[in-house]
């Protein structure tokens, strides 16, 4: 039986998840009705998901190297620094 | 709060005309559990220039200054029991520097922003070329943001050259990083590590005070993923360099919600993440954060984070128990406590002070200045990991952060 290379085996599931997310976004996002003039609180730094990207990335770098898991906070990287 | 919102809105309006932003962040990590210690200082600086509303060019630099003592030879309780009085654990001093210069560009066209970045990482025993691209778009009156990002790492890790006919249970650990790169030392070799990562993020504003974010991340690692310096005792008189599988596929789904509670004037952030990988490691993370302004521009956040993971399928605290040769614990062996089952609880505080210039010139040249400081304590509780049968105690890490951002 033909099997995918281990590097490629993840792709079908990944594609399904991305496609499902896109469909969910299209369906659900249309329900949101926040008008531009109502966005004052949402625009405040206190409501941002990542207000200080560099500081947050450094914190993730420190934590990721002490845990066995990964993800959810961006995929940019560079080097190990994993002592 | 409303005043701050207006200041923020004014700031956002000026952003398109902003010329340059300088960010600097510094993190100090320290832990000293039983018989080991590790201190990592990470300074970083980034400069972003926006000469036109459609273009941002950025460059930066980050480093890791690492010093401490880590476990060099790992043994478990069964081995320690049959070798009473012998100190079966050894530690090795660690001193290393990672330098990581980076450069990137963001192009904007309508509601879409495209970003590309390259980072070069170099340390005594590791070289990395990292390429990152992302596309971000907004829809439905800017209430919906979608981002797709991808990174590709082409890395090299140093290792000790092993005897031609030896198999992993006979491999010897790397003694130190001398001669790893830039020399023809026959006792040094390099392994490739390729890392592909993909993330899809959906950020949604639902009401004037509620926003959520959903992120799916996948990562595929191919290549040498063990710690080349660490050995594991496999049997009486037999120690071998730890040996992890070369392939690892990782998935995680993270959900976050930001809710502004008007009566309390507090922003509450909730986050949860589930993770699993092909090494059969599962984890769950829960975060709770509350932040509020105390006076104009000054805010404090309190944060708690709980994390729990299982061990990998090949994790064992002691490999001397006659594991099946073709089973996961017979083929692979590790002394890495990050691959063992554990849970941790982190508690922290963060302060941020932002000052905006009313007339566009602060101290004669800045438009705005933001200063932040954070402190966090992380307490690790290891379910199985021991050093020669002795559970590690005081597994507590302290993380301090300082950051500043100025726009000109």
Strands B231-235 and B55-74: parallel
Taking an 8 Å cut-off on Cβ atoms, the answer to whether A69 and B309 are in contact is yes
Q: State the smallest CA–CA distance between residue A38 and chain B in angstroms.
A: 6
Return d(Cα B227, Cα B204) in angstroms, integer.
Answer: 40
The encoded tokens of residue B104 equal 């990137």
pLDDT, position A80: 64
The encoded tokens of residue B43 equal 């300074």
Return d(Cα A54, Cα B264) in angstroms, integer.
Answer: 29
The encoded tokens of residue B325 equal 């040769």
B44 touching chain A per CB within 8 A: yes
Residue A32 has pLDDT above 80, yes or no: no
User: String of b and e for B165-188 (b: at least 16 CB within 10 Å)?
Assistant: eeebbebbbbeebeebbeeeeeeb
Return d(Cα B37, Cα B32) in angstroms, integer.
Answer: 4
Taking an 8 Å cut-off on Cβ atoms, the answer to whether B208 and A29 are in contact is no
The count of other CB atoms within 10 Å of the CB of residue A79 is 24
Taking an 8 Å cut-off on Cβ atoms, the answer to whether A75 and B198 are in contact is yes
Q: By C-alpha distance, which of B144, B146, B174 is closest to B162?
A: B174
Return d(Cα B102, Cα B61) in angstroms, integer.
Answer: 6
The C-alpha angle B275, A76, B403, rounded to 5 degrees, equals: 100
Q: What is the pLDDT of residues A46-66, one digit of tens each?
A: 999 887 888 888 888 888 889
Residues 227-286 of B with CB under 8 A from A: 247, 249-254, 256, 258, 260, 267, 273, 275, 277, 279, 281, 283, 285
Residues 20-79 of A with CB under 8 A from B: 21-22, 24-25, 28-30, 32-36, 38-49, 51-55, 58-59, 61-63, 65-79
Total length of chain B: 408
B379 touching chain A per CB within 8 A: no
Contacts of B42 in chain A (CB under 8 A): 58, 61-62, 81
Return d(Cα B387, Cα B80) in angstroms, integer.
Answer: 9
Phi, psi torsion values for B80, nearest 5 degrees: -65, -35
Return d(Cα B244, Cα B225) in angstroms, integer.
Answer: 6
pLDDT in tens, chain B (408 residues): 434 443 344 444 444 455 899 999 999 999 988 888 999 999 999 999 999 999 999 999 999 999 998 888 888 888 888 887 666 677 778 888 999 999 999 999 999 999 999 999 999 899 999 999 999 999 888 899 999 999 999 999 999 999 999 999 999 999 888 889 887 889 999 999 999 999 999 999 999 999 999 999 999 999 999 999 999 999 888 899 999 999 999 999 999 999 999 999 999 999 999 999 999 999 999 999 999 999 999 999 999 999 999 999 999 999 988 788 788 888 999 999 999 999 999 999 999 999 988 776 777 788 889 999 999 999 999 999 998 888 888 899 999 999 999 998
Taking an 8 Å cut-off on Cβ atoms, the answer to whether B149 and A75 are in contact is yes
**CB neighbour list of residue B184: distance below 8 Å, 6 or more residues apart:** none
- Comparing CB atoms, the residue among B9, B151, B256 nearest residue A76 is B151
Taking an 8 Å cut-off on Cβ atoms, the answer to whether A40 and B2 are in contact is yes
Total length of chain A: 83
A1 touching chain B per CB within 8 A: no
- Comparing CB atoms, the residue among A25, A34, A79 nearest residue B100 is A79
pLDDT, position B403: 95
The encoded tokens of residue B105 equal 């560009």
Nearest CA in chain A to B92: A83
Are B134 and B200 within 8 A, CB to CB? no
H or E element that contains B10: helix B2-15
Chain B interface, mutation test: which of A7, A49, A61, most B Cβ atoms within 10 Å?
Answer: A49
pLDDT, position B7: 39
Q: How many CB pairs under 8 A join A and B?
A: 263
Q: State the smallest CA–CA distance between residue A3 and chain B in angstroms.
A: 16
How much is the ipTM here? 0.82
B304 touching chain A per CB within 8 A: no
Q: Give 3-state DSSP helix, strand, coil % of chain A, rounded to 5.
A: 50, 0, 50
Taking an 8 Å cut-off on Cβ atoms, the answer to whether A78 and B217 are in contact is no
- Comparing CB atoms, the residue among A43, A46, A61 nearest residue B42 is A61
The encoded tokens of residue A22 equal 């896109």
B209 touching chain A per CB within 8 A: yes
Bridge partners (DSSP) of residue B356 are B368
pLDDT, position B1: 41
Q: What is the mean pLDDT of chain A?
A: 78
B222 touching chain A per CB within 8 A: yes
Are B397 and B30 within 8 A, CB to CB? yes
Q: Domain segments of chain B: what residues?
A: 8-407
Taking an 8 Å cut-off on Cβ atoms, the answer to whether B401 and A17 are in contact is no
Return d(Cα B19, Cα B13) in angstroms, integer.
Answer: 13
CATH class held by domain B8-407: mainly beta
A16 touching chain B per CB within 8 A: no
Note the pTM of the prediction, 2 decimals: 0.89
Q: By C-alpha distance, which of B79, B19, B151, B103 is closest to B318?
A: B79
- Comparing CB atoms, the residue among A30, A54, A68 nearest residue B140 is A30
């Amino acid at each position: 039986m033909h099997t995918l290379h281990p590097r490629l085996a993840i792709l079908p599931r990944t594609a399904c998840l991305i496609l499902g997310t896109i469909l969910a976004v299209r369906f659900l996002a249309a329900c949101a009705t926040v008008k531009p003039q109502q966005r004052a609180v949402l625009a405040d730094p206190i409501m941002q998901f990542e207000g200080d990207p560099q500081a947050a990335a450094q914190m993730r770098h420190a934590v990721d190297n002490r845990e066995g898991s990964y993800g959810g906070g961006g995929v940019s990287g560079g080097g190990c620094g994993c002592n | 709060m409303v005043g701050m919102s207006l200041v923020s809105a004014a700031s956002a309006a000026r952003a398109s005309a902003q010329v340059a932003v300088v960010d600097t962040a510094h993190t100090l990590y320290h832990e000293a559990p039983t018989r080991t210690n590790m201190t990592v200082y990470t300074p970083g600086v980034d400069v972003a220039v926006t000469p036109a509303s459609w273009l941002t060019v950025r460059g930066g630099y980050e480093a890791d200054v690492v010093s401490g003592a880590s476990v060099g030879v790992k043994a478990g309780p069964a081995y320690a029991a049959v070798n009473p009085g012998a100190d079966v654990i050894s530690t090795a001093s660690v001193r290393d520097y990672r330098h990581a210069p980076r450069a990137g560009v963001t192009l904007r066209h309508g509601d879409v922003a495209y970003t590309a970045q390259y980072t070069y990482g170099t340390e005594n025993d590791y070289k990395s070329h990292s390429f990152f691209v992302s596309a971000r778009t907004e829809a439905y009156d800017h209430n919906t943001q979608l981002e797709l990002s991808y990174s590709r790492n082409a890395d090299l890790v140093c290792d000790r050259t092993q005897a031609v006919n030896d198999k992993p249970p006979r491999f010897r650990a790397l003694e130190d990083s001398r001669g790893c790169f830039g020399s023809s030392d026959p006792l040094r070799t390099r392994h490739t590590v390729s890392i592909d990562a993909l993330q899809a993020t959906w950020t949604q504003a639902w009401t004037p005070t509620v926003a959520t974010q959903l992120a799916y991340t996948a990562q595929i690692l191919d290549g040498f993923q063990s710690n080349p310096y660490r050995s594991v005792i496999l049997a009486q008189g037999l120690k071998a360099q730890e040996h992890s599988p070369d392939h690892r596929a990782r998935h995680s789904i993270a959900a976050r919600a930001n809710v502004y509670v008007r009566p309390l004037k507090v922003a509450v952030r909730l986050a949860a993440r589930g993770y699993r990988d092909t090494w059969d490691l599962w984890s769950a993370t829960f975060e709770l954060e509350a932040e509020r302004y105390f006076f104009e521009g000054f805010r404090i956040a309190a944060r708690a984070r709980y994390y729990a993971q299982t061990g990998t399928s090949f994790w064992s605290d002691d490999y001397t128990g006659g594991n099946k040769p073709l089973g996961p614990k017979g083929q692979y062996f590790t002394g890495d406590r990050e691959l063992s089952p554990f849970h941790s609880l982190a508690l922290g505080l963060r302060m941020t002070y932002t000052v905006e210039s009313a007339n566009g010139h602060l101290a004669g040249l800045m438009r705005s200045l933001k200063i932040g400081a954070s402190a966090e304590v992380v307490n690790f509780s290891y379910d199985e990991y021991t050093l020669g049968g002795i559970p590690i105690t005081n597994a507590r890490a302290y993380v301090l952060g300082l950051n500043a951002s100025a726009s000109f």
